[in-house]
Amino acid sequence: MHRTKASDVLRAIQKVGVVEFVPVTLENESLTQKEKEAFEFNHVGSRLDFAVNFLSKYAPAQGGLKGMFEGTKVNISGKEIYEIAKTYYYKDTIDAAQNIEQEIVKARAHIKDLHDEEAVITPWKKLSLTLGTPRHTATTTTFFIKGTAENILSFKEGMEAAGVLCACEPASDTHIMCVFFTQEKEKVEKLLQEHSLEAVDLPMRRGTPEEEIERISRAIKNNQEEIETLENRARELAKELRELKVMNDYIFWQKTKHDLMSNTVASAQTLVFEGWCPTKYFKDVEAAIQNKTSNYALEVVVVGKEENVPVEIENKGIIKPFEAVTRLYGLPGHNDLDPTLFLAGFFFIFFGLSLTDVGYGIILAAATGAILYFYNVPKESKPLLTLLMFGGIGSIIVGLFFGGYFGVDMSLMPGWVQALQQFDPIKNPIPVFYLALLLGVVQILVGLVLKIVREAKNGQLMDGILDQGPWIALFLTLGLWGAGSFGILPTFPYVYLVYAALLSLVLTQGRKEKNIFMKGFKGVFSLYDSVAYFSDILSYSRLLALGLATSALAFAVNLIAAMVQGVPYVGWLLMAIILVIGHLFNLAVNVLGAFIHSARLQFVEFFGKFIAGSGRDFKPFRREERNVTLIE
């Protein structure tokens, strides 16, 4: 593009936010690397960072739930940002903030010095000698000595025995002042060493220790009042924090744009950029460029096989919140599938099976739903809160069939509620165990099918079918055999189908080996992988364990509450406190467990079946919202 329009074009691309620029390397003598000149941006940016951080400490705290859920970012439109950038003069505010901060630091340092000096003088408070008295004269030397009372007493006796003439004034049993003839100094120092005593230096001040302690206290108070005055000025200045935050992000956007321009290849008239852009947004980028200039050339470059392609996932509707699970694991590789669509249903069910309580589900769904509806939650927090809301809904649905209502005995519930219950994990956990294993088998089968789809996407459909097909056949035939054995299906020698699936594994899994014996050996050895699959399926039994834990703890809370109900006068109050605190604790602990273990089943047992690598994050050139949230 032409150099004169580069800044406007990059601003437009930055606003769209779907292009990740990469360094350009062109061997062309007509192009030269533009020298980077970012000192001013770095200087201004660091000053704004300081001002925002410093004044944020003095801004009125946004208390309550609003402050907790909305954070401290400024909600603002892009148009208002540019208006503030044109009219707000931020340098005076930064200068004022820096001056206040320097004065506060200076006053606090002075207070520290005063406290240190006070600590030194305080033990000598009872001395009548002024601290300004010379320590050394033509004939005498004064020592301020501290140590244990016993050692000081023996020191005096030693002075007397040594014939050292001295005048001593005690400040306490452990602190004394001694004046002696200078010619005896070596003897005195030797005696101090022998009796483990220390001669300390007291600060030179004009008054007595007691008078100076009072002066120090007044000085400390004056400095504290000065700090309070400075902090009041900072609180007043913090009224401009909103504009400072806006300017901080605006300057940061300008800096990133400048850095991009400074690190690309340029000629006298043009700049050359190269970057990644999702295909579906290519026309949006081109339209943004055309809106700023017609002097440009845009070329699509074919992706090389060895290039490290960035990865981004994008889902819509009710599936989008489940991206939080995928992103927690890490983005899939460029040649992999986005697992979000396929994990969503399983995570929803698994979360519900882990919590299995209608009451807890209602609280979780209502609380997260209310936060999302009534508060302007930051973009980065919305997916997780929405995911927890869906988890609450899943718990309500599962809880209806499992009879979970805050641990209340189902015999006390209405008949129509009892009719909905199909499982009782406390009295009969085996059906729930089988259900958990069945869900595990289904998810693993889905994972194997997705591996075939992945291979087909990368032009290796036959390899996918031959690698995963026999395992799918084995699982299905084992299911048929089991169903036939329990009389669910008509009588048929299903076991022969299992043998056929096992034979297909032996024939296909070693096909890539060149030696016929190695083909057979690897084919037979592949049967050992069934142990890993069996282990993966057993991992789903944790769903039963988590559901049992929720129900058992809820029942225990109710039992303890019932035990204190009969306490005279305060029984009902104690019961209410135990019920509220107990069930909230149970809810918090088991929501955390439900999320962690439901996610773990995706990461370990599911993703490993069809995700081969990890992708590099797509980091587009966009307006990074550090202090503001764009609402346009």
Beta-carbon contacts of residue 500 (< 8 Å; ≥ 6 apart) = 473, 477
Amino acid found at 264: T
CA–CA distances in Å: residue 289 to residues 5, 281, 550: 10, 13, 57
Check if the beta carbon of residue 4 is closer than 8 Å to that of residue 608. Answer: no
Domain for residue 5, yes or no?
no
Render pLDDT for 382-403 as a digit per residue (tens, 0 to 9). 999 999 999 999 999 999 999 9
Q: Is pLDDT larger for residue 412 or for residue 324? A: 324
Output the CA–CA distances (angstroms, integers) from residue 601 to 175, 178, 307, 364, 586, in the order listed: 71, 79, 32, 22, 22
Question: What band does 363 get if pLDDT is binned at 50, 70 and 90?
Answer: very high
Average pLDDT over residues 350-355: 94
DSSP 133: S
- Rounded to an integer, what distance in angstroms lies between the CA atom of residue 60 and that of residue 539? 50
Does any domain span residue 392? yes
Inside any domain, residue 428? yes
Quick check: 64 pLDDT over 50? Answer: yes
Which tokens belong to 429?
């956990």
Listed as own residue / partner, the contacts of 66-74 with beta carbons closer than 8 Å and 24 or more positions apart are: 66/375, 69/371, 69/375, 69/377, 69/381, 70/375, 70/376, 70/377, 70/378, 71/378, 73/245, 73/378, 73/625, 73/627, 73/628, 73/629, 74/242, 74/245, 74/246, 74/627, 74/628, 74/629
Confidence of residue 32 (pLDDT cuts 50, 70, 90): very low
Reduced to 3 states (helix: H, G, I; strand: E, B; else coil), residue 74 is: strand
Greatest mean pLDDT among 226-230, 377-381, 567-571, 623-627 lies in 226-230
Q: Are 178 and 168 in contact (CB under 8 A)?
A: yes
Question: Is the predicted pLDDT of residue 562 greater than 60, yes or no?
Answer: yes
Taking only the tens place, the pLDDT of each residue in 415-460 is: 888 888 888 888 889 999 999 999 999 999 999 999 999 999 888 8
Residue type present at position 139: T
The overall average pLDDT reported for the chain is 89
pLDDT for 31 equals 45
Q: What is the pLDDT of residues 502-549, one digit of tens each?
A: 888 888 888 788 778 887 888 788 888 888 889 999 999 999 999 999
Q: Is residue 364 part of a domain?
A: yes
Residue 38 has pLDDT above 60, yes or no: yes
Q: Which of 170, 201, 232 is the last residue of a domain?
A: 201
Angle, helices 430-457/461-485, rounded to nearest 10 degrees: 160
Query: What pLDDT shows up at residue 63?
Result: 61
Q: In sequence order, which residues have a C-beta less than 8 Å from that of residue 496 and are 6 or more positions away? A: none
Residue 65 scores a pLDDT above 70: no
Domain boundary residue, one of 169, 201, 233? 201
Residue 112 lies in a domain: no
Of the residues 201, 228, 256, the one at which a domain ends: 201
- Residue 326's domain spans which residues? 317-610
Convert the pLDDT of each residue in 581-616 to its tens digit.
999 999 999 999 999 999 999 999 999 899 987 788
Structural domains counted in the chain: 2
Q: Does the residue 49 lie in any domain? A: no
C-alpha distance from residue 288 to each of 60, 80, 258, 273 (Å):
40, 20, 19, 15
**Domain containing residue 154: CATH number:** 3.30.70.2750
**What's the pLDDT score for residue 631?**
82
Find out whether 233 and 8 touch, Cβ atoms under 8 Å. no
391 lies in a domain?
Answer: yes
Query: Which pLDDT value is given to residue 365?
Result: 96
Helix intervals (H) in 486-541: 494-508, 516-525, 529-539
Q: Is the pLDDT of residue 221 over 70?
A: yes
**For tokens 């400024």, what's the residue?**
74
Does 297 reside within a domain? no
* Percentage of the chain lying above the pLDDT 90 cut: 55
Considering only residues 233 and 496, tell me which one the structure prediction assigns the higher pLDDT.
233
Predicted structure pTM score: 0.81
- Cα 21 to Cα 396: distance, rounded to the nearest angstrom: 46
Task: Find the helix packing angle between 461-485 and 494-508, rounded to 10°.
Answer: 160
Give 629's pLDDT tier (boundaries 50, 70, 90). confident
157-201 confidence digits (pLDDT tens): 999 988 889 899 999 999 999 999 999 999 999 999 999 999 999
Segment (H or E) for 274: strand 274-276
